Amino acid sequence: MAQPRPYLACNHCGSTETRPVARIDGHWLERCARCDLAFVTDPPSETALAAMYQASNDYHTQLLDPASDAFAKMTAIARHHLRFVERFASFGQLLDVGCSTGLFLDQARRRGFDVAGVEFSAASARFAREHFHLSVTDGDIHAIDDADGLLDIVTMFDVIEHVRDPARDMLAAHRLLKPGGLFILSTPNIDGLFPRMSEPLARPLGYWPHVEPPWHLYQFSVRTLSAMLEARGFECLGTHHTAIDLAYTFGTARELSRSAKRLAYALAFAPFAWAGPKIGMGDWFYLAARKH
């Protein structure tokens, strides 16, 4: 039954009616009863959230080592991002929001885009400037206050699920883009085949590796993300479904060998994660939108 939550309104439609999904890692994930947007209803404080992305808590630490496996893996993902961008554009002024250590920007610059970035993690932003010699601003999209209506492309890869106010960030992207400019995002897909099949067990098990609270404050589907963008001045152009790395979601072979329960979960649900993109229900998707 929907529960009134007068202290927290849905970021899209403003409703305070929610349906609890599960309590995961000490946080409640709920769905808006009106528009179905899923979000954490007891997020960390703004100070605590900021600290999660800085200094020793920086989850991008491995990306500061060009010799690491993580650096190579994320470089491959950056090229995947670029392939989706090039479905819609082959040149232009591009801002990557949440650019991390600059791997995507480096790839886009090689292909002829005029690039800049903004990054919340000070260590990652510094690496992007020093290692790749990129123009990267410290902060979030709202730190960019001198480019209104000047950009051809704004990208946010695996960022929108982390921010406290996605609707405000979408409006900021709209402000920065030229008329007809492109807003390109990627994010986990709560309506992917694996999340959809495993969600009924999330509450009784208190376990759902798809959602990752409190790092991910929101969980989108193609439908909810499209609705939010269209309500804020964008026309959705197309999507591409893919899969989150299976080892990331379910654990490495070594981790699975140490936990019979985790191994059983992986055996039950990994096939759905693998099959999802093949039927347009991947647990991760890209979406391109155009500013009206």
Neighbours of 192 (CB within 10 A): 27
Sign of torsion, CA 100 239 217 245? negative
Q: Is 158 left (phi over 0), alpha (psi -120 to 50) or beta?
A: left
Q: How confident is the model at residue 6 (pLDDT cuts 50, 70, 90)?
A: very low
> What does the angle CA 288 – CA 13 – CA 290 come to, to the nearest 5 degrees?
20
pLDDT bracket for residue 4 (50, 70, 90): very low
178-231 pLDDT per residue, tens: 999 999 999 999 999 999 999 999 999 999 999 988 899 999 999 999 999 999
71 is written with which tokens?
A: 């650096």
Asked if residues 52 and 215 have their Cβ atoms less than 8 Å apart, the reply is yes
Q: Which residues pair with 3 in a beta bridge?
A: 18
Q: In the chain, where do the E strands start and end? A: 3-4, 17-24, 27-32, 38-40, 93-97, 114-119, 136-138, 151-157, 177-188, 218-219, 234-242, 284-291
Q: Which pLDDT value is given to residue 40?
A: 95
Closest by CA position to 221, among listed 199, 202, 203, 204: 199
H-helix segments, 187-221? 193-205
Mean of the pLDDT values across residues 275-288? Answer: 98
Domain boundaries, the chain: 46-188
Burial 13-52 (b: 16+ CB within 10 A, else e): bebbbbeebbbbeebbbbbbbebbbbbbbebbeeeebeee
| 184 token code pair | 């390109």
Q: What is the mean pLDDT of the chain?
A: 93
- Residues 64-100: tens digit of each pLDDT: 888 888 889 999 999 999 999 999 999 999 999 999 9
Cβ(287)–Cβ(222) below 8 Å: yes
Phi, psi angles (nearest 5°) of residue 2 = -65, 140
| 3-state SS, residue 32 | strand
pTM of the predicted model as reported, rounded to 2 decimal places: 0.93
CB 220 within 8 A of CB 187: yes
Q: Which CATH class is domain 46-188?
A: alpha beta
Burial class of residue 77 in the structure, from the number of CB atoms within 10 Å of its CB (0-12 exposed, 13-18 middle, 19+ buried): middle
Instruction: Give per-residue pLDDT as tens, 152-162.
Output: 999 999 999 99
Beta bridge partners of 177: 151
* pLDDT band per the 50, 70, 90 thresholds, residue 44: confident
**280 — alpha (psi -120 to 50), left (phi > 0) or beta?**
left
- pLDDT over 70 (residue 57): no
Q: Between helices 260-275 and 193-205, what is the axis angle to 10°?
A: 150
Distance of alpha carbon 118 from alpha carbon 146, whole angstroms: 13
